[in-house]
Amino acid sequence: MNNLDKIGVCSRSFSRNPVLRKELLSKFSNVKFNDQGISLNGNDLIEFLSDCDGAIVALEYIDKTTLEQLPNLKFIGKYGVGLDKLDFDALDEHGVKLGWTPGVNATSVAELTLNMSLNIVRNTPASNALAEQKNWKQVTGKQLSSLTIGVLGLGHVGTKVAGLFNAFGCKVIAHDILNKGLECEQLGIKQVNFQNLLKDSDLLTIHIPGNESTFHIIGAHEIGQMKEGSFIVNTARGGIVDEKAIIEALNTQKIASVGFDVLEVEPPKNLDFINHPNTFVTTHIGGSSEEAILAMGFAAIDGLSNYTNASVFKKYK
């Protein structure tokens, strides 16, 4: 057990989980958890980590300004797979090491993607709303198996998503900035360029990182290239899709319905998107299956443990 380094657990869901708490305390004796359950950013985050050598972070922003005020911080274990809230140049500048394991929540996110797709294609939220109002009326939808599914991004999640849609008998096409010929051959799907992905998909599902290069990569122009009455699912990162453009497309029925687990601003301040009758929105729960929470937590703990055992940390950019 490490008795020297103090660890601060910023993540609320990690702090609430008794299994993860027990596992971390079996390896580090000096740990403080976010037991108040508050969102730690800015000055609150700095104050919480001010006396810590290591941290477990999830959705907290770690940037240059933050690190300048945390001179004791030496290593971070990443809880979850998204890296869009970490400033890697600042981490390098301040000598802070990162322990990160990609793909640990891929199955959880992929299954939510399938769940959302079935909901918006079969229009089950509308039927459920009618049932709650004691209005026993049939609502029609489409069969998922009749659609061409376009997968944007064939990383850990995207490949699992493609496999799930394959099992439903869907035609699956995919686009990635890398050559994924081997993966496509193994999955029995076709890799296409971005324009053909937009043009040929009945349902577009998004699985790419959120960064400057992908911000609003799906906007009014891209939506204009899609089929009339198509569907979009985003379980990747908010900001990849222009939500204002989506609302306009829903109002003209260019897009039939969308399912989003992530939004550009979370929690949202403007509720127009959430309240639209043809949006199905969840509260960023892609990685929140019980199994994924444990997998992400154990990976974060391993990241800290590997650092303290003098293992070499990779730098991810």
Catalytic residue set: 237, 266, 284
Per DSSP, helices labelled H in 192-258 are: 194-200, 220-224, 243-251
Helical packing angle, 106-122 and 124-132, nearest 10°: 70
Write the secondary structure of 54-74 as one string of H (helix), E (strand) and C (coil): EEEECCCCECHHHHHCCCCCC
Q: Nearest 5°: phi and psi at 84?
A: -70, -15
CB contact at 8 A, 75 and 99: yes
Distances (CA, A) of 87 to 45, 66, 67, 80: 15, 10, 10, 16
Distances (CA, A) of 141 to 71, 117, 121, 122: 57, 12, 6, 4
The identity of residue 138, as a single letter, is Q
**Helix, strand, coil content of the chain in percent (nearest 5):** 40, 20, 45
Distances (CA, A) of 279 to 35, 183, 196, 233: 34, 32, 25, 10
DSSP state of 103: T
Cα separation, 256 vs 246, in Å, equals 10
